[in-house]
Amino acid sequence: MKLRLSKKKISSTMLISMTDVIFLLIIFLLIVSNFSSQSGLPIRLPGSKSAALHSLQSIHISYLGDDQLFYNGELVDFPTLAELLTADYIDPEQVVRFSAMEDTPLQKVISVMDIIRGAGFEKIFVATEVVKEELQ
- pLDDT tens for the chain, 136 residues long, are 677 766 666 555 555 677 888 888 898 888 877 655 544 445 555 565 655 554 455 788 888 878 788 988 889 988 888 888 888 888 777 888 888 888 888 888 888 888 888 888 888 888 766 666 654 4
CATH number assigned to the domain comprising residue 114: 3.30.420.270
pLDDT of residue 18: 77
Q: Domain residues for 93?
A: 47-130
Kindly report the number of other CB atoms within 10 A of residue 50's CB atom.
Answer: 7
Model confidence, pTM: 0.54
Burial 92-126 (b: 16+ CB within 10 A, else e): eebbbbbbbbeebeeebeeebbebbeebebebebb
Round to whole Å and give the CA distance between 84 and 73. Answer: 13
- What sign for the dihedral angle of Cα 108, 113, 115, 116? positive
Total domain count for the chain?
Answer: 1
pLDDT of residue 109: 86
Give domain status of residue 107, yes or no. yes
